[in-house]
Amino acid sequence: MVTDHRIDIRGCQVAYQRGGQGEPLLLLHGMDGRASWDSVLPRLTEHHDVILPDHPGFGASGSGEWIDGMADLALFYLDFLDALQIEQCHLAGHCLGGWLAAEIAVMQPQRFKSLSLCAAAGIRVDGCPMGDAFLWNPDDTIGQLIVDPQARESMRSKPSSERDIELMLKARQMSARLAWHPRFHNPHLRKWLHRLTMPTMIQWGENDRLFPVAYAHGYHAMIPHAQLHLYKDCGHFPMLEATDRYLEHLDAFTAKASA
C-alpha cells in the first residue's frame, strides 16, 4: 500500500509517497512531475520499498527558494535520505531526475546499491542537438515525447483542471531554475562519472526526441561498466510505452545488485 507523507528538510516541506516490499528505492521524477509514475507505481512496489518525492518546486512540495541549481538539489536529497534514516538504497531517475540521480550518486557512491538512469538529462553529446522542451507548447510536448499513438491520445484526452495547470506552471518554473542554462546538462558532470562505481543501468527509448539515443550511448561510454537497454518504438517515457520491458529490466537489475 502506498501512502502519502510530508517531511521538513531545512525549512522546505517535501511531499512524498512511500510503499511496497523490499529494499528502499528512491525514485526521482522528471520535469513533468511524479504523475508519469502513477500507472507503474503499484508494480514497482511489488519488489521495492519505493520512495517517490515531489522535488522542491514541484507538486505538493515547497518551493525550496534557496535551491539555486542541481548541485544544491543533489545535496538536498542526501539530507532527505539522512532524515528518513536510510543508509543505503537503490536510486533511479528519469529525465531531469536521471540527471539528479547521477549528481547524487557521484557525491556519495557508497550510499547506493544500484543506479538506474532512464532517458536522463545531464550530459551534452557533440553533434547531436537535444530537443528543447522549454519551447514546446503542451500539445507539441506530447507529440514530441510520446511515440505510441494510444498513449499519446490518452495523454491528450486527459482533462486539465485549474490545479493541474498551476502545477504544470510551477514545474516548468522550477525546471527552468535547474536546467535553463546550460540547457539540461552540467558540463562538469562527465569529469566525475568515473565515481559511479555501483552497478549502473541505462534505459532509453530509441525514438526519444528530447534526448536522442546518442545520449544513451554517451552515458554508456562514460560509465563503461554500465548496462544499456534500448526500447524500440518508444519515446521519452519507457515506463509508459515499454512498461513490461522497463520493469523486467529494473527488477532483475536491482535484485542482482542486492544479491
The string of pLDDT tens digits covering residues 168-225 is 889 999 999 999 999 999 999 999 999 999 999 999 999 999 999 999 999 999 998 9
What the block records as the C-alpha cell of 1 is 500500500
Ranges of beta strands (E only) in the chain are 3-9, 12-19, 24-28, 49-53, 89-94, 112-118, 200-205, 227-231
Chain-centre distance for alpha carbon 113: 17
* CATH 3.30.1330.40 for domain 3-258: no
Residue 128, pLDDT above cutoff 70: yes
* Cα dihedral value 169, 40, 230, 25, nearest 10: 90
- Mean pLDDT of all residues in 70-93: 98
| Amino acid symbol at 242 | A
pLDDT at residue 148 tops 70: yes
The 10s digit of each residue's pLDDT in 235-248 is: 999 999 999 999 99
pTM of the model: 0.96
Domain ranges in the chain are 3-258
Question: Which tops the pLDDT comparison, 152 or 258?
Answer: 258
Amino acid at 207: N
Report residue 163's pLDDT band, with 50, 70 and 90 as the boundaries: confident
77-88 pLDDT, tens digit each: 999 999 999 999
> What rounded mean pLDDT belongs to the chain?
95
Give the residue-averaged pLDDT of 125-144.
89
Give me the pLDDT at residue 149, please.
83
d(CA 213, CA 105): 22
- Tracing cell 566525475 back to the chain, one arrives at 192
> Residue 159: what pLDDT?
60
| Mean of pLDDT values over 151-166 | 76
Instruction: State residue 162's pLDDT score.
Output: 85
3-state secondary structure of 67: coil
1-39 tens-digit pLDDT:
999 999 999 999 999 999 999 999 999 999 999 989 999
Q: Percent of the chain at pLDDT above 70? A: 98
User: Apex CA 162: angle with CA 160 and CA 164, to 5°?
Assistant: 55
What contacts 123, CB < 8 A, 6 or more positions away?
185, 186, 189, 190, 215, 218, 219, 222
**Residue 157 in this model has a pLDDT that exceeds 80:** no
